[in-house]
Structure 1
């Protein structure tokens, strides 16, 4: 597996080994020892699967009191995946990183606890899976606006569909108050 640090402290872009031949390919999507060797030592306790159509933007979501580390992968399609560092004592607080994840590039993005997460679907449909380091708790979830001017996230396209919750999300500053 190739491991590339991003511009955000602790956030990693991972490239698992993929073995292709005339039948297709084989790839280990997760092996605890390999991720531990990459510095990802959090126990991953929950798997989530999201299917979305082109133009859907999900995010920017985070857990307030029980932050989740996330290992994000795309099984089908292509997304623009965004991480925002919300750790107030971090040197990269308030900075963001965006990467294209797809079934073709087979890359994964690791967001340690303390990051907000969102993605925009670029293909006709996308199946996104992510492992988390803590259980989802609806009462602990928070979000901020995907186009907050303070963050100035550069999305590759405008979203075509947002949930009511994402459309009504507060500013970055208000969400973290």
Structure 2
């Protein structure tokens, strides 16, 4: 496994070792010892989630607050997504900045998102399966979000707004400046 820290401290792009031959491939998606050694972090994942979505589905930007904040290890099993994180840590030098990365079935890249970040993704192919581990359990009362198209954040989602499929709930999220962190 190769882990590269992004410009947002604590966010890592992870390239697992893939063994391929004529039969197919093998990849170890998660190994606690290797993860700790590569990232220098001791994270205890307690929940695995998976979603299947059509091209154009945008999920996010979501986060959990307080004692229910979550770190995530995300990856794509099938298809591809544009994955986005926004730094919500008020004392961070990169507060309000974001990073985007394409995760796909082909590149098998993973993305580690620490606590204190909003997360979202845009599905780039039909029937995309997105998987993520969380280090804390979901708590409805602690959920927060930021509208995907906030001008202050300036995220390039790679598709025009009219091509996006967004839940009614996500369409009503506040701007970054009004979000409760």
Q: Fold match, TM over 0.5?
A: yes
Equivalent runs, 1:7-156 vs 2, <5 Å: 7-38=7-38, 39-65=40-66, 66-156=68-158
TM-score by length of 2: 0.95
- Tell me the matched-pair count: 177
Aligned equivalents of 1:40 and 1:53: distance in 2? 34
Deviation string for 1:93-132 (max 9, x for gaps)?
1000000000100000000111100000001121000001
Give the superposition deviation at 1:75.
0.2
- Structure 1 segments of 4+ aligned residues over 3 angstroms from their partners: none
Q: Tell me, what secondary structure is at the counterpart of 1:131?
A: strand
Q: Separation in 2 of the partners of 1:40 and 1:98?
A: 22
- Whole-Å Cα distance in 2 between the matches of residues 172 and 9 of structure 1? 20
* Equivalent position SS for 2:62: strand
Please give the alpha-carbon distance, in whole angstroms, between the structure 2 residues aligned to 1:14 and 1:40. Answer: 13
- TM-score, with structure 1 as normaliser: 0.97
Q: Give how far 1:7 is off.
A: 1.1
User: Once superposed, what is the RMSD of the aligned Cα atoms?
Assistant: 1.0
Query: Is 1:165 aligned with 2:166?
Result: no
Gaps in structure 2 of 5+ consecutive residues: none
